[in-house]
């Protein structure tokens, strides 16, 4: 039933013994199941953090928007981001690949190349794999296992009135990249859009954000260690949707300040060239895989300084208020050039700017 033969073909010897040992891998791919233990050198009790995420061809990507290796990278990165969003350290991954029979081993190999590139970048040991044939489309499901200090996982439900709201990177770049890729693919007859074309179009950073997202694991670990973060989400479904999740789970109101939102220059330029309001992508775009969270306001500036010191971005974009669960935004007053005396407060819908009522 499995025409691709043994998974070992794509996984044997792909990661260093040092990485596997460092992540507590007792037995990797090759038997009925993998065996892991608490990684060496860790003091204190641990809990395990687990997430699963799926990417489906023609639903989440197509042959023009993503190369095989990009799909591999992103399928793992999306899960690594989920572990980071709990304040956890990603350690192990199990991979299920269902690939069309027409693919052949070389394309599957490239998919695994992307998986291993992402795994090595984040120090994740790939300990399980199942590769089956699929009648039509590629489906990649990845489970990632991480650890967190016992009792320290950061949920969505802890935001308190008075907390500061932060993000760990600009939002909307991945959506802008997808917009460019779909337009370029339409012109190119559905062929894969090469990075060189994106570079020529000035959208290289946007395409990179879409194809090779870089979850905020280090930032998450540094923030979690401070003990002052009260809620944390990764932005997979757009800033407005994730802000709503925190608001709903915590029973609070998140107030975002448009003027404080980090705007990528290349996204703004590309948006302007297409006559699109960048807020559409920033609020509703999704797949940015940066973190959105809340923390004690008293520690927010120090946290930002500590992350900056480590070369990691952090932006304070608003505050938490008491009130019925929801999300508001203080709009920037672009016409007067300075902040209006009376702030303009706009309710943000869950689905983002598309349903934005100004």
Binding footprint of a second copy on the chain (CB under 8 A): 1, 26-27, 31-37, 45-54, 56-60, 81-83, 85-86, 88, 92, 94-96, 98, 127-130, 132-137, 139, 141, 143-146, 148, 150, 153, 155-156, 232-234
CA distances from 39 to 33, 36, 51, 220 (A): 18, 8, 19, 19
Least distance to a second copy, CB of residue 156, Å: 6
Least distance to a second copy, CB of residue 325, Å: 16
Residue 273, marked binder: no
Return the number of the residue (131 or 228) whose C-beta is nearest a second copy: 131
Return the number of the residue (247 or 330) whose C-beta is nearest a second copy: 247
Least distance to a second copy, CB of residue 272, Å: 26
User: How far apart are the C-alpha atoms of 264 and 120, rounded to whole Å?
Assistant: 27
Return the number of the residue (178 or 329) whose C-beta is nearest a second copy: 178
Residue 156, marked binder: yes
Return the number of the residue (144 or 271) whose C-beta is nearest a second copy: 144
Least distance to a second copy, CB of residue 245, Å: 9
Residue 60, marked binder: yes
Return the number of the residue (245 or 328) whose C-beta is nearest a second copy: 245
Return the number of the residue (31 or 309) whose C-beta is nearest a second copy: 31
Asked if 139 and 54 count as a contact pair (C-beta separation under 8 A), the reply is yes
3-state class (DSSP) for residue 120: helix
Contacts of 50 (CB under 8 A, 6+ apart): 143, 144, 145, 146
Least distance to a second copy, CB of residue 107, Å: 17
User: How far apart are the C-alpha atoms of 211 and 219, rounded to whole Å?
Assistant: 21
Orientation of helix 204-211 relative to helix 68-84, angle to 10°: 70
Return the number of the residue (84 or 348) whose C-beta is nearest a second copy: 84
Least distance to a second copy, CB of residue 337, Å: 39
Least distance to a second copy, CB of residue 258, Å: 26
State both tokens at 27: 């037995």
User: How far apart are the C-alpha atoms of 29 and 6, rounded to whole Å?
Assistant: 11
Query: What element of type H or E holds 198?
Result: helix 195-200
Least distance to a second copy, CB of residue 213, Å: 15
State both tokens at 315: 């932006």
Residue 353, marked binder: yes
Residue 248, marked binder: no
Residue 31, marked binder: no
Residue 53, marked binder: yes
Longest Cα separation, the chain: 69
18 exposed, middle or buried (CB, 10 Å; 0-12, 13-18, 19+)? exposed
Taken as a whole, the chain contains a residue count of: 358
Residue 287, marked binder: yes
Residue holding tokens 């923390």?
A: 295
Handedness of CA 206, 210, 211, 216 (dihedral sign): positive
Residue 32, marked binder: yes
User: How far apart are the C-alpha atoms of 235 and 18, rounded to whole Å?
Assistant: 32
Query: What element of type H or E holds 346?
Result: strand 345-347
323 exposed, middle or buried (CB, 10 Å; 0-12, 13-18, 19+)? middle
Return the number of the residue (21 or 339) whose C-beta is nearest a second copy: 21
Residue 288, marked binder: no
Q: Which residues are annotated as a binding site for ATP?
A: 112, 129-130, 156, 236
Q: Which residues are annotated as a binding site for substrate?
A: 60, 287, 353
Q: Which residues are annotated as a binding site for Mg(2+)?
A: 32, 53, 82, 130, 234, 237
């Amino acid at each position: 039933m499995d025409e691709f033969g043994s998974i070992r073909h794509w996984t044997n010897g792909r990661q260093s013994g040092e990485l596997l040992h460092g992540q507590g891998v007792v037995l990797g791919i090759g038997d009925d199941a993998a065996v892991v233990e608490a990684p060496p050198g860790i003091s204190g009790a641990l809990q395990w953090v687990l997430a699963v995420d799926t990417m489906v061809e023609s639903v989440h990507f197509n042959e023009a928007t993503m190369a095989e290796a990009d799909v591999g990278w992103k399928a793992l990165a999306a899960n690594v981001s989920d572990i980071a969003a709990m304040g956890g350290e990603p350690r192990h991954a199990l991979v299920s690949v269902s690939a069309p029979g027409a693919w052949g081993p070389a394309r599957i190999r490239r998919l695994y190349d992307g998986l291993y590139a992402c795994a090595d970048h984040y120090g994740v040991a790939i300990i399980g794999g199942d590769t089956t044939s699929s009648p039509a489309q590629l489906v990649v499901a990845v489970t990632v296992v991480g650890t967190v200090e016992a009792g320290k996982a950061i949920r969505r439900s802890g935001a308190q009135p008075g907390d500061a709201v932060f993000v760990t990177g600009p939002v909307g770049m991945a959506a802008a990249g997808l917009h460019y890729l779909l337009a370029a693919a339409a012109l190119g007859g559905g062929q894969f859009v090469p990075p060189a074309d994106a570079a020529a179009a000035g959208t290289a950073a946007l395409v990179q954000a879409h194809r090779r997202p870089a979850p905020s694991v280090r930032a998450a670990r540094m923030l979690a260690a401070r003990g002052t973060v009260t809620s944390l989400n990764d932005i997979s479904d757009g800033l407005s949707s994730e802000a709503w999740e925190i608001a709903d789970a915590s029973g609070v109101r998140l107030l975002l300040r448009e003027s404080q939102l980090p705007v990528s220059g290349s996204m703004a330029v590309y948006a302007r060239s297409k006559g699109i309001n960048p807020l559409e992508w920033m609020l509703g775009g999704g797949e940015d895989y940066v973190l959105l969270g809340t923390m004690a306001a008293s520690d927010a500036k120090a946290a930002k300084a500590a992350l900056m010191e480590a070369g990691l971005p952090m932006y304070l974009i608003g505050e938490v208020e008491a009130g019925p669960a929801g999300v508001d935004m203080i709009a920037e007053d672009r016409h007067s050039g300075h902040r209006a005396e009376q702030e303009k407060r706009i309710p943000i819908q869950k689905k983002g700017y598309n349903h934005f009522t100004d």
